[in-house]
Each structure stands twice: as structure tokens, then as C-alpha cells.
Amino acid sequence: MEIVLEGLKDEGGISAICRSRAISTTQFYKWKHQLLGAAEAIYHRVNNKPSVKEERLQQENQRMKSVIAEVIAENLDLKKGSLG
């Protein structure tokens, strides 16, 4: 990954970077493709839709909010009954 990042910083010197690291330019571009593909997959996963865990947590959060609303309403009804 370090080699690919170095190559991304200096597009003109990829051949020189590969020679200094004793790798082929084909290997460099293969690693670059893998790195950028992984980054794109992560980006799309983050920006598209929530994960299953996030959806489950959102549903649980909504359920808890409903329970809290019910308890508050019940509490208010009990207070009104004891005051009136």
C-alpha cells in the first residue's frame, strides 16, 4: 500500500518507484487497482444505505421511543387522576 500511495503522489515517477522497490509496473498497477477498488467499495457502503446493524439499532431506538412515550402518557394520566 505504501508503494501505491507513493505512486499516487508522484504520477510521473512510477517507473522509478517500481525500479527502486524492485517490483514490476504491472504489479504496481494491480495493487493500485485493488486499493482504489477497496476504497470505492468502502465509500459506497458508507454513503448508500445503512448496514443491517444500523437498521436494527434504528428500529430498536424507535421502539424505545414509543415505550417512553407510552410511559410518559401513562404517568400524566395518573397525575391527573390523583390531582382531580
pLDDT, tens only, 5-14: 777 787 668 8
Strand, coil or helix: 84: coil
Compute the distance between CA of residue 61 and CA of residue 70 in angstroms, rounded to an integer: 14
Quick check: 7 and 32 in contact, CB under 8 A? Answer: yes
Q: Tell me what percent of the residues of the chain surpass a pLDDT of 70.
A: 90
C-alpha cell of residue 46: 458508507
Compute the distance between CA of residue 17 and CA of residue 4 in angstroms, rounded to an integer: 9
Does this model's pTM top 0.85? My answer is: no
pLDDT, tens only, 32-54: 888 888 877 777 666 667 778 98
Domain ranges of the chain: 1-48, 50-84
What's at 32, amino acid-wise? K
